[in-house]
Amino acid sequence: MKVLVATEKPFAKIAVDGIKKEIEGAGFELVLLEKYTDKVQLLGAVKDANAIIIRSDIIDAEVLDAAKELKIVVRAGAGYDNVDLNAATAHGVCVMNTPGQNSNAVAELVFGLLVYAVRNFYNGTSGTELMGKKLGIHAYGNVGRNVARVAKGFGMELYAYDPFCPKDVIEKDGVKAVDSAEELYKTCNIVSLHIPATAETKNSINHNLLANMPKGAILVNTARKEVINEDELIQLMEERPDFKYITDIMPAANAKFAELFAGRYFSTPKKMGAQTAEANINAGIAAAKQIVGFLKEGCEKFRVNK
């Protein structure tokens, strides 16, 4: 059995070593395709792969057509919006993710970005502190929960909105569960996004919602760029010189944001949330173990397609 690790943005070497150990320990062969620059390279590499480990790499119908021997794709990470689930099902391919494995890394980056923003991007002027500020956590999944845990250390007041998470789960963490996204944005000085990119959430962070935020508001995005209505965010930031947007997922209109909103807009050049040795080890090795469990025992825990 051939297991391909196809990562345009590679894992730390220590994580690759761990994946190799799991795969070879099970008697399988590991093949690496890192830092590829062209889809053609991916199409070539998947030809004889029985299993693939990916990150944000795109697995669409064309890739699945080329991967004639493929049985399973594991997205080493949380969001699987980069995999065409219907096409995978049609090709008889199982798709899994590794929920929770990189969530602390993403949560820590939220605070890296926030301190940078409230200290005016370290430009020498007086900024503000996070202590006592109201933080809105938009979706209370694995990352949202870690954000809440870290925020408590900063002495922030915590609010969350998640229609899929029971209120008592949120409130037992000392976080106020609010009834709507509108209420969250109206209440909080800072909102941190942790929603997946789905048909329902795409473009959902719009002018209407953001206009509710109090003066001096900050929106921090470590989720997906697709959930933002970029045109409306630009309009809002033009109207509201007090509004800051900081993101780990470069918007399509990055150049425009950078030009119009210098000093209150920042994007990492490449998504860095899960880019730690620990997260790479956790997610990469979990992915390798899930592949071994699937190929050897038919275990389908964490399957996300039908």
Rounded CA separation 69/1 (Å):
10
284 binds ligand 3PG (CB under 6 A): no
Q: Would you give the binding string for ligand 3PG spanning residues 89-108, x where CB under 6 A is met?
A: -------------x------
Rounded CA separation 270/249 (Å):
7
Indicate the residue type of 21: K
Restricting to residues 46-65, name those near ligand 3PG by CB under 6 A. Answer: 55-56
Strands laid side by side in the 94-97 sheet: 29-34, 2-7, 51-54, 72-75, 94-97
225 binds ligand 3PG (CB under 6 A): no
Which residue, 244, 195, 250, is CA-closest to 223? 195
Q: Nearer to ligand 3PG by C-beta: 109 or 118?
A: 109
274 binds ligand 3PG (CB under 6 A): yes
78 binds ligand 3PG (CB under 6 A): yes
Q: Would you give the binding string for ligand 3PG spanning residues 8-27, x where CB under 6 A is met?
A: -x------------------
Answer positive or negative: Cα dihedral of 138, 142, 145, 150. Answer: negative
Q: Nearer to ligand 3PG by C-beta: 145 or 264?
A: 145
79 binds ligand 3PG (CB under 6 A): yes
141 binds ligand 3PG (CB under 6 A): no
| Helices 277-297 & 103-118 angle (0-180, nearest 10) | 160
Which residue, 83, 285, 61, is CA-closest to 196? 83
271 binds ligand 3PG (CB under 6 A): yes
144 binds ligand 3PG (CB under 6 A): no
Query: In angstroms, what is the minimal distance from the CB of 275 to ligand 3PG?
Result: 6
Query: In angstroms, what is the minimal distance from the CB of 39 to ligand 3PG?
Result: 16
Tokens of 299: 């275990």
CA neighbours closer than 13 Å in the CB half-sphere of residue 96: 29
Instruction: Please give the helix or strand (H or E) that residue 235 lies within, else none.
Output: helix 230-239
* Piece of 87-95, 113-121, 149-157, 272-280 that binds ligand 3PG (CB under 6 A): 272-280
Query: In angstroms, what is the minimal distance from the CB of 59 to ligand 3PG?
Result: 13
Indicate the residue type of 245: Y
Burial letters for 44-78: b for 16+ Cβ neighbours within 10 Å, e otherwise? ebbeebbbbbbbbbebeeebbebbeebbbbbbbbb
Q: Nearer to ligand 3PG by C-beta: 189 or 221?
A: 221
Rounded CA separation 298/152 (Å):
41
Query: In angstroms, what is the minimal distance from the CB of 134 to ligand 3PG?
Result: 25
Quick one: which of 158, 273, 276, 295 contacts ligand 3PG (CB under 6 A)? 273
* Piece of 23-31, 71-79, 111-119, 230-238 that binds ligand 3PG (CB under 6 A): 71-79
**Residues near ligand 3PG, by CB under 6 A:** 9, 55-56, 77-79, 102, 271, 273-275
